[in-house]
Amino acid sequence: MVGNESWGRDEVPVIGKGFESSYEPKRLSEQRLDQGTQKRGRFSIPKLGILLLCCLAAVSEATYAKYKDPKQPVGVRIEDLMSRMTLAEKIGQMTQIERSVATPDVMKKYFIGSVLSGGGSVPTIKATPETWIKMVNTIQKGSLSTCLQIPMIYGIDAVHGHNNVYKATIFPHNVGLGVTRDPQLIKKIGDATALEVRATGISFVFAPCIAVCRDPRWGRCYESYSEDHKIVQLMTEIIPGLQGDIPGNSKKGVPFVSGKKKVAACAKHFLGDGGTTKGINENNTVISLNGLLSIHMPAYLNSIRKGVATIMVSYSSWNGKKMHANRDLVTGFLKNKLKFRGFVISDWLGIDKITSPPHANYTYSVEAGVGAGIDMIMVSNFTEFIDVLTYQVKHNIIPMSRIDDAVKRILRVKFVMGLFENPMADYSLVNQLGSLEHRELATEAVRKTLVLLKNGESADKPLLPLPKKATKILVSGTHADNLGYQCGGWTITWQGLGGNDLTSGTTVLQAIKNTVDPTTRVVYSENPDSDFVKSNKFSFAIVVVGEPTYAETFGDSLNLTLSEPGPRTIYNVCGAVKCVVVVISGRPVVMQPYLSSINALVVAWLPGTEGQGVADVLFGDYGFTGKLARTWFKTVDQLPMNVGDPHYDPLFPFGFGLTTKPTEG
């Protein structure tokens, strides 16, 4: 039994902030349900009986329901709907489950509020937009079959375009976009991403990542726009791109999403994810409160002002305290001080990781995470989460006021974005996925993300731009003809894929062939020996090398070296012919040993599917304009080293970037 025998038949305790008990009348359906035996929040009454009771209670008050009326103010709709909800329905709203377990029956039985696709979680391999829509709508029908018909919200990681989806436009990762310092470009990318996400029936994205990466050894550094919070703040302009421009008369902190062509965004990861010791993922950020607020917090202020709908909590700790359990920062600062009115979401199994090892004391994790102020929880074992949270509420361990705060915020986002009026996806936007217009935008972005770090031995003898007309040119390197490496992690799968079969796009090699004069012979040899290079009398060579694909902890690196045989390719080619080296990487890597043998050096970061942008600038159709948004170190022993540090002695400083003018003609 759940220990509510002492309550009056018509009363249920509601615990306020100060833990004072007050009482409110129970809904008819709740009174009836309490008469059945309950085990950890799972009712023994047959499911059909619950739904009938629920629906009878809901419709007996009136056929007209204010919460279903879009003409009513959002606050009125929330209040009306919440007055009709059972505890089970409320806790269901707080639960986000993985697509693979989200059957219509599960959605209906547990009143699930949200579903997600994890990295690489797709309905079928190379699924079409129509297949995605059919899957999302099938899940949604389960939610709409409940008596209150509260639609679920479907979330996905769209961190550089709609990156889980086959044939979507893959934009450069954030590490490159920060180079542009161009908020209007970023806003356009947000707008294009929203359209491609909506093209698959999805309305919620776990983006943007507004981490301030202070150490490139971190495996998520490519998800960060810059080591400088001011650039990260500029880049929050992606939020109105994703969600729409917030009206001028909006209250601070209130979420805003402007209709069916926009998506709810998610600023992440709150707070200090980019400042961990040695860049170790999910680790400890050791910094004063002043440092935390001055470096890692500012972009959240911008995001909230722009109406960001949701904020995701970081796996990391601040001075030893897990952020998923940090009530002072999540509730005290984010919700109370900054007046954020959207909902706070956990990261995947984020509350499990409050303990070490994860899930060691799940009861404590639920209490600490929900108690800290997290409103929606990403869970794998949803029945366990629902059971534990139900038990804790019924035993006054977690106050009902905390549940109501969470549900109010979740419903606010759903009402604001029009999900109640348009819960089902249609096929009207399917042609937006990977559209020519979006690919052209991505190509423009690639051009602007490139940084020219070296151009000839002296300013009066530049190698770039390269001539399109040459007898014979060599293209080499592991990354020259590899679309997967170009895109990096979080592309089709969580960790990313090598090769050219993952999605559609243009490799750097193909782009070079597209760009040079028809009479120029392009020879591709991935890793030639020096004799081959010397004997062929090439006019010049382009060597494209870099890092493998990775995401999160798998990308943590203490040495930051180029993938083998990259260094050998550089020596073999650049020792025999004039060469430009193009680096495809998610962060600065060790380059000092090779610099003297390289004639020109370009960093292309992780450009995505549109490799044409690289060739456009190499061959002078456009000039180099990019300036480093990250410090390029000499050796890893210097790390962490950021602009303004007393020991600042970089190979290339923050803000550095040579420029070229487009070639005439």
3-state secondary structure of 296: helix
Is residue 324 within 8 Å of 354, Cβ to Cβ?
Answer: yes
Token pair for 338: 């900054």
Q: Alpha-carbon Rg of the chain, whole angstroms?
A: 27
> If you ran DSSP here, which 8-state letter would residue 173 be given?
P
Closest CA to 122 of 502, 505, 554, 555: 502
- Find out whether the peptide bond into 497 is cis, omega within 30 degrees of 0: no
Kindly state the helix (H) or strand (E) to which residue 23 belongs, with its residue range. Answer: strand 21-25
Catalytic residue among 89, 223, 444, 552: 552
Amino acid making up residue 630? R
3-state secondary structure of 98: strand
Is residue 256 within 8 Å of 250, Cβ to Cβ?
Answer: yes
Known catalytic residue at 405: no
Catalytic residue among 215, 227, 273, 347: 347
Task: Calculate helix-pair angle for 183-198, 436-449, nearest 10 degrees.
Answer: 150
Kindly state the helix (H) or strand (E) to which residue 385 belongs, with its residue range. Answer: helix 382-394
Is residue 629 within 8 Å of 643, Cβ to Cβ?
Answer: no
Amino acid making up residue 352? D
Is residue 650 within 8 Å of 642, Cβ to Cβ?
Answer: no
Known catalytic residue at 347: yes
**Through-space distance between the first and last CA atoms of the chain, rounded to whole angstroms:** 83
**DSSP per-residue string spanning 508-531:** HHHHHHHHS-TTSEEEE-SS--HH
**Residues classed as catalytic:** 347, 552
